[in-house]
Structure 1
Amino acid sequence: METQNYSNHKKFYAPHHFVYLPALMVLQIFGIYKAFSDDSNALTWILFSVVIFLILYLAIMVRQHYALELQDRMVRLEFKQRYFELFGQRSDEVESRLKFDQIAALRFTYDDEFKELLYRALHESISGNDIKKSIKKWRPDHHRV
């Protein structure tokens, strides 16, 4: 497996991202084209295009929403556990001062960098993206959704 870092940490699900969604996009474009070029059935093609759009919208939003909500909860729990292991105290006050993107970015750090970048996140308000870019030794996460 390839070493994970900032430039390759995004994950795709091939059937969804490269088959299903592109097929819906093609159908959407085809429906819009036919709505303007087939005057006798324009209303049918408009309805077709609206239905395809709704299916496309739902396919993107529902898949992402459920997976991301669950992943966000797990990332927060992981942060709480890690903070407790490193500092021996609850993380409630610290967690409330961080944005989610900062918490999520910190999970790609090993313990020594975690402490340093957590300090910077709290005192310099660096963004999650800046935290990721600052990581010297990337701690991969191959189990993300």
Structure 2
Amino acid sequence: MTVQNYASHARYVKGFHFLLASLLVIGTITSIINLYLQVKANDSVIGSILITTLFICGILLFWYTRRFAVTVQDRAIRAEESIRYYILTHKAIDSKLTMGQIVALRFANDDEFLVLADRAVRENLTADEIKKSIKNWKADHHRA
């Protein structure tokens, strides 16, 4: 596994994030142009409407499949980090921590975790600020 840090922690699947996304955008734009040309020429538009609708459905599927996976992953991370916090402190994690803050805290090793969690609440740190504050990065190679 490659070394992970703030600059390299984002994960992209080329076939999904770049190829499929590009094909859906190009196909949608092309189908809309085709629909426009069919309407302008007073031709039958049923086929063009169907193709445009299918591409729009494809974009929605692309968006929601990613959203659902990330939401489930975030809930699992929240549970993991809550247990981690409890093991280290014998207390429940602060309810003022947002989901984004908790997700960012997963990259902190145990030495930094508690200090950063406290700072995140006190200073209302963003997820990005938390990640930038981590000195000893704990890699997460299992992100969906």
Indicate the TM-score class for this superposition, using the shorter chain for normalisation.
Answer: 0.7 to 0.9
Given that 1:28 and 1:53 are in contact with CA atoms closer than 8 Å, whether structure 2 keeps it comes out as: yes
Given that 1:35 and 1:41 are in contact with CA atoms closer than 8 Å, whether structure 2 keeps it comes out as: no
| Alignment TM-score, normalising by the size of structure 1 | 0.86
The alignment's C-alpha RMSD in Å is: 1.7
Given that 1:97 and 1:122 are in contact with CA atoms closer than 8 Å, whether structure 2 keeps it comes out as: yes
1:79-90 alignment, distance < 5 Å? 79-90=81-92
| Alignment TM-score, normalising by the size of structure 2 | 0.87
Q: Distance in 1 between matches of 2:113 and 2:57?
A: 42
- How much does 1:43 deviate? 4.8
Q: Which structure 1 residue ranges, 5 or more long, are not aligned?
A: none
Match of 1:50 in 2: 53
Report percent identity of matched pairs: 35
Q: Distance in 2 between matches of 1:2 and 1:51?
A: 39
Given that 1:108 and 1:141 are in contact with CA atoms closer than 8 Å, whether structure 2 keeps it comes out as: yes
Q: Which structure 2 residue ranges, 5 or more long, are not aligned?
A: none
Q: Which amino acid aligns with 1:127?
A: T
Match of 2:110 in 1: 111
Match of 2:120 in 1: 121
Match of 1:136 in 2: 135
Q: Distance in 1 between matches of 2:54 and 2:81?
A: 41
Aligned length in residues: 141
